[in-house]
Amino acid sequence: MQYWLMKSEPDVWSINQQIKAGLKGAPWDGVRNYQAAKNLKSMKKGDLCFFYHSNIGKEIVGIVEVIKEAYLDKTDKSGRFVAVTVRFKKKLSNPVTLEDIKKNKELSHLSLIKQSRLSVMPIDSKSWKILNNMSKI
């Protein structure tokens, strides 16, 4: 299993909308960055992803699971980009803010900090554990 972080602007698609999508999940589409699209193509069924509210909030608010691997993104007229389907797993009772993530030296290598515009990024298992622990504080 791999771990990921997926960003969404909460006024476009929020964790609460993801929850309402239920067991069938919802497509994670609209990604037009080639590096982020490559990351989507690398996702496997069962992978877990942090759900990050970008722009408004700037915090990890939940966890979703990949339930359908990469397929053509119906919102892409060019036919070049892919989507995956994700299902809600858990809402964090204590969201982890970008500010707190930046304060943790063990997380300074994360793409979230180094490539702030990247919308889909891998998270190593050690960082996954650290971020999960930070949410329980």
Our measurement of the distance from residue 62's CA atom to the centroid of its chain's CA atoms, rounded to an integer in Å, reads: 9
| 3 state DSSP class of 14 | coil
Measured CA to CA in angstroms, residue 27 lies from 40, 59, 81, 90, 107 at distances of 11, 21, 13, 17, 28
47-83 pLDDT, tens digit per residue, is: 999 999 999 999 999 999 999 999 999 999 999 999 9
Domains of the chain: 3-135 (3.10.590.10)
pTM greater than 0.85 (yes/no): yes
DSSP letter (8 states) at residue 117: T
Q: What pairing do the DSSP bridges indicate for beta strands 59-72 and 3-8?
A: unpaired
Sheet of strand 59-72, all strands in order from the earlier edge strand to the far edge: 26-28, 82-97, 59-72, 48-53, 3-8, 120-123
Q: Which helix (H) or strand (E) holds 127?
A: helix 125-135
Model pLDDT for residues 97-133, shown as the tens digit of each residue: 999 999 999 999 999 999 988 999 999 999 999 999 9
